[in-house]
Chains A and B, each alone.
Chain A
């Protein structure tokens, strides 16, 4: 059971539980991910990294955070 003040979201394909009312910025800060080396998608729409403070996450939001890795 998810408590009242918690919500379930999907981050990079994995279900996680976060505090209700968290912003996308809160999530990124918690994860300690370098913002300048990543791109973020919220429900398949690219997010402007400057605006993540104002995006409040909702139940069942799907977030993808990507970066560059080695490839041919």
Chain B
């Protein structure tokens, strides 16, 4: 069933509520095919040094056309505001667009975000005209502060990056969704299709998935599963689910029983 349900980030409409990462694939061909199957309109990309010694290495842009798919440059691997700002300013120079994903990590083991540095960076970038989608903790208070300093999307983690542990704090994710006017996209920790559907059923506007697709035994099949899960979860959320009841309630009428 077709319904009018626009997914808008910074006033731009995207068809798919699934955002996918482009890391961890066997090769770029596999990555490009998985993206196509996932139906994603936005993909995250990293900014790194050009390999000077091996110029024959294929370029991401040759496999995924930035005119067709929105590139969302990230700051993966940055552990302070200075590095994150430097990375995104360079990213803007490569592509010429302002939509970026900020992640400032504070912890090498869990890859949890350093929220003080993240908040500081969001404010600076927003003032420089960047449209910042922000990877953050599942903390409603910090999420509100990010929104207040100009973030265009809040991206709370479900669980640590690449862990596949799913949504660990459903209540906080739901609170963040309820209090926030901009899109809330669950980022990090999704393990399978039910996790993605759950995020959407909590009312989130989208999910960002990388490892769960790239590292599945069959990445293409998982890409499709995630696409369908996000669609199903969204429709389920919009449908208005039934109230939970500890007692049974028969589905067949009582009259006319023989």
Contacts and interface: CB of A to CB of B under 8 A. Distances in A.
Contacts of B211: 72
Contacts, number: 95
B23 to A, nearest CB: 4
Interface residues of B, number: 35
Give the residue among B25, B28, B50 with the most A Cβ atoms within 10 A.
Answer: B50
A26 to B, nearest CB: 15
A57 B195 CA distance: 53
B24 A39 contact: no
B52 interface: yes
B60 A69 contact: yes
A67 B48 contact: yes
Interface residues on A, range: 20 to 34
A40 B146 CA distance: 30
A42 to B, nearest CB: 12
Interface of B is mostly: mixed
B223 to A, nearest CB: 14
Interface in B80-114: 86, 89-91, 93-95
Contacts of B49: 12-13, 64-66
A69 B48 contact: yes
A70 B46 contact: yes
Given A70-B45, A72-B74, A31 B52 contact: yes
Contact of A72 (B44, B50, B55, B71): B44
A17 interface: no
A68 B60 contact: yes
B91 A39 contact: yes
B52 A14 contact: yes
Top 4 nearest A-B pairs (CB, nearest first) are A71-B46, A72-B21, A72-B210, A39-B93
Interface of A: 11-14, 31-34, 37-41, 44, 46, 49, 64-72
Given A49-B93, A67-B61, 13 more contacts: A11-B52, A31-B52, A33-B55, A37-B61, A37-B94, A39-B91, A46-B90, A46-B93, A67-B47, A69-B47, A69-B60, A72-B161, A72-B208
